[in-house]
Each structure stands twice: as C-alpha cells, then as structure tokens.
Amino acid sequence: MEALGKRKRGDDAGGGDAGCSSGGGDRLSALPDHLLHEVMSRMKARQMVQTCALSRRWRHLWPKVPCLDIDQRELKAGHEKFDDFVYFLLRKVSVARLDAFRLHANEGGYDPGLVATSNASAWIRRAIMASAQAPPARDQGLTSPGSWRLRRLHLSGLRLDGLFAEHVRSRCPYLEDLELRVCKCRFRAIASGSLESLALIGCAAGAGVGEEFSEISSPALKSLVVDHGSNDIASPFVVTAPALAHLFLVVTPYNFPGGVSLGEMPSLARASVHLKTRETLAKRAHLRSHLFKILRSVSNVTSLELNGFDVTVKAGEESTEFPEFSNLRTLELDQCGLGHDIHVSGHILRKSPNLEKLTFTLSKSCWQVPVGEPPSYPELKNMRALTLRNYDPDDDFQTLGSFLQSSPVLENLTLQCCKSSKDTRRKKGTSKMKSIDQNLMDARCENLKLTKIIYRDDDVGQLVEFLLRFSRNLPNNNIRLVKVD
C-alpha cells in the first residue's frame, strides 16, 4: 500500500486534469491558465519566474503573464546582476502583449540623483525596437507594427528620451495610466490620446536642445500628479488637459522656474496645490504672478487643498488676481496664515460664497494678530462644518471666536490636537481667555449641534469652560471629548 501523503512521480507531469481527478491533489495547478496568470500577475518578477520550478505544468506559464513587475529592490543585487536578470526577462516576455508593466530600476528610492545605469534605460529602447520588428497582434486589437497593448506603465529610475515619448504618443493606443518616478526626461512633451492618469514624481528634465520637458497634452487625462522634480526651462510649463478632474501639484522654485500654464479645465473638481520654499517664491515677482495664475486656473473646483500659501497680498493684487470660487464647497488650508485680509487664504474665504466645509491647520509660523485685534472673517453663511487643527486654547481662542461670529449656520465644530498649558493657572493665559468672552456674547450659532475636542493632554478644562461661558448662544451644542495618545 502506498504511504499516506505520497504521490506518484507522474502526478505533476501532465496538465491540470491530473490534479483535478485525484480528489486531494494539486488543486492550484488544476486551474485554467488565465486564472494562474492572474495569480502570477500579483507577484514580483523574481518570485513569478521561480514558479517554473513547481512542476512541468508551471514551466511555460510565466512568459505569458499579462502583468510584469520588475523591482531591483526585490533582487537585493547590484546593477550587473540586475541587468542580466532584466535582459533575460525581456527576451522571454513580450512587452507589447502586456496589460501592465512596472520597472523599478533605482536602488536609491526618492533621490533624483540616483538614476539607474544606462543599461536600464536601454531596456525600454530595446523593447520598443523589438516590438517594431514583430508582426502586430491582430487578435488583441493591434493592427499597426510596433504597437503595445499596455494599459498601465510605471517606470522608476530610468533615462527616457524622445523615442520613448514618441512611442507613447503613437504606439500605445490603450495606455491609460503612466507613472514616471525619479526619471530623467530627455524629451519635450508627453502627448497621448488615451492617457487618463499621469504621475510625475521627482523627475528631472533634460538640459539639451530639444530635450526641455515643457508640455503635457492629453484630451482624455482625468488625473495629474506633479510632485517635486527639477527643470531648467525659463518658459512656462504648459498643461493642456480639458477633461482633467483631479490635480495634485507641488510647486517649487526648481521644478517650475518659469511657472505653470494650465489650460481650460471645465471638469476640474478637486485640486491640491502645495508650495515649497515659499519664501523664495514670494520674493520673485514673476513667480508670484504664476502662483496667482494657478489659483485662477483652479477657481471652478468644488474641493480645494492649499499648503504653504502663507503669502501676503500686496496692494492692487486683490482686484486683478483673485477670481470668484463660486463652486467651492470644501476648502483645506495648511500653513496659509490665519485667513486674515493680508493673506491669500483670507481673500479666498471672501471669494467663496458657497463654502460648506473648512479645515484650517493653525501654525505658530503663521502671522499672528495682536491681542484685542482678532482676525475678521466674512460671513460664511453656508458653512456647516469647521475643523481647526493644532488648536491651542491659550493662543487661538480669538481665531475660534471670530469663526463662530462669522458662521451663523455652523453645525459641526472639531478642534484637533488641542494643546492645553501645563500650568492651568497661568495668569496670562487666563486673562486672554476672559478678554474674549464679552466679544463672543453676540455670536449666535443656534445650529451648532456638536463640538468635538480631540486632545492629547490631561486637562482641557480651560477650553470647556470657555465654551460653556457663552453656551446660551449655543443652545443645541453638545461637547464631546476624545483623548488620543
């Protein structure tokens, strides 16, 4: 009798039927090829290739996977070993027939200076040239020589030239998702009729003639992310994407020295704009102008996030630079001043008549108004939810009071990461708190239903007492305390 658990040597020799017929055999191998390819597509390349050692059933499966993910970090090897591995893979797998291709050839992670060797960049050129010589895959909807059926392409740590950009434009008719991370872009433009999502993260533009990356053009593009990077061009970076719905933009003096020119984007619903090294940006007159142009370009959004816009508005700029944000419903401000008249954030509040939800991150680096001169806000007649982050009850109570006075229909108030003085008897803090009481007596927030206080310290007594003192103006308000570590 055969020992329990032992199987005959030939059980793995055939196709999936052998495993299926023996009630407890290799059920995974019994699955049809397309399901096994789906499983293998979720593996990194090295692990995927290793499946050929499982049995003869698996030996020829991996070269036909629809998705290939090559990551140098998985191999934990130097450039030479990695070069050999990728060369071997791309001889076996046709990139033209893949649905998704990801190649991470940068051991340095996010550092733009650590771009992979020239061999790594040649792989893409070799794959393009090889597909151009092969007959088109007519059974997959490709009728022109050299075309790829790729829908998703993610590249990291490569040097990409005009051949790559031209191939994306003319030979990738189904490409929907393109991500370039820490790549050297030696081409002028990314243009595609099918691209819906584009992310450029830490990329550097080429410096040669004709290599100045200065344009993105895609009529179908819905999501655009440009995060850091560097560029030497003096002219504006032009983005033409009329169907864009989501924009994430990190602006520094180094990635857009000539500014950004955004075309008409009537479908734009969400925008997130972050300024880095804002002191440098604010001092350069032409860059200030470009910042205001960005704001005008996103003025039709319903949701807007601004970070680092702690920029003051000079005399005369208000009437010429600030549009009406008539569609804006949700606004998030971080390191944008106090929303006072002299700040960009203050002007946006005044130009947003339909704002319903505001999240304001307070910062000690923000410009502070003197005691007795609290910031004044316009009547936010539609605002129903207010969140103040990094709220300090000893210093920010005037800001809170001004918001309560300006928000007659406010329903939900959240004070996050509240900081209470360790010395609750501090005379200076107590006198500050009392000085605002009389001014708040006129604040009527009858719709306020919930005030949530999220705090870290053991004592938020001053803040609760502060709210209770004018509770008659908040007849429907409930206070909820949430302590976090």
Counting every residue written for the chain, the total comes to 485
Contact (CB, 8 A) for 333 and 306: yes
| 41-55, 167-181, 301-315 — most confident range | 167-181
The tokens describing 279, both together, are 């002191």
Q: Based on the number of CB atoms within 10 Å of its own CB, is 408 exposed (0-12), middle (13-18) or buried (19 or more)?
A: middle
Give me the pLDDT at residue 210, please.
57
**Interval 425-453 mean pLDDT:** 63
- pLDDT above 70 for 278: no
- pLDDT above 70 for 165: yes
- pLDDT above 50 for 9: no
Contact (CB, 8 A) for 420 and 455: yes
**Confidence band (pLDDT; 50, 70, 90) for 153?**
very high
Residue range 194-251, pLDDT digits in tens: 999 999 998 888 665 556 788 999 999 999 999 988 777 777 889 999 999 999 998 8
Give me the pLDDT at residue 272, please.
95
**Confidence band (pLDDT; 50, 70, 90) for 120?**
low
| Average pLDDT of every residue of the chain | 76
On the CB side of 114, CA atoms within 13 Å amount to 9
Residue with tokens 């107590």: 430
- pLDDT above 90 for 484: no
From residue 113, give the alpha-carbon distance in Å to each of 116, 120, 135, 139, 220. 9, 15, 39, 42, 32
Alpha helices by DSSP H, listed for 52-109, are 72-75, 79-92
Residue range 126-148, pLDDT digits in tens: 777 666 555 555 455 545 556 78
> How many whole angstroms separate alpha carbon 288 and alpha carbon 46?
49
**Interval 299-328 mean pLDDT:** 80
Question: Comparing 17-31, 313-327, 425-439, which segment has the lowest mean pLDDT?
Answer: 425-439
- pLDDT above 50 for 115: no
> How many whole angstroms separate alpha carbon 185 and alpha carbon 26?
48
Quick count: other Cβ atoms within 10 Å of Cβ 381?
12
> How many whole angstroms separate alpha carbon 249 and alpha carbon 306?
10
**Percent of the chain surpassing pLDDT 70:** 71
**Percent of the chain surpassing pLDDT 90:** 22
**Interval 286-313 mean pLDDT:** 83
**Interval 152-165 mean pLDDT:** 89
Which one, of 367, 371, 451, lies nearest residue 407 by Cα?
451
Give me the pLDDT at residue 95, please.
78
> How many whole angstroms separate alpha carbon 48 and alpha carbon 37?
10
- pLDDT above 80 for 175: yes
Q: Domain ranges for the chain, please list them.
A: 389-419+442-484
Tell me how far the alpha carbon of residue 106 is from its chain's centroid: 21
Question: Comparing 76-85, 200-209, 276-285, 314-323, which segment has the lowest mean pLDDT?
Answer: 276-285
Give me the pLDDT at residue 382, please.
94
Give me the pLDDT at residue 111, please.
45
- pLDDT above 50 for 333: yes
**Interval 91-99 mean pLDDT:** 81
- pLDDT above 80 for 482: yes
Give me the pLDDT at residue 3, please.
45
Give me the pLDDT at residue 465, please.
74
Give me the pLDDT at residue 106, please.
66
Which one, of 205, 251, 189, lies nearest residue 226 by Cα?
251
> How many whole angstroms separate alpha carbon 465 and alpha carbon 447?
20
- pLDDT above 90 for 329: yes
**Confidence band (pLDDT; 50, 70, 90) for 94?**
confident
Question: Comparing 183-197, 293-307, 348-362, 458-472, which segment has the lowest mean pLDDT?
Answer: 458-472
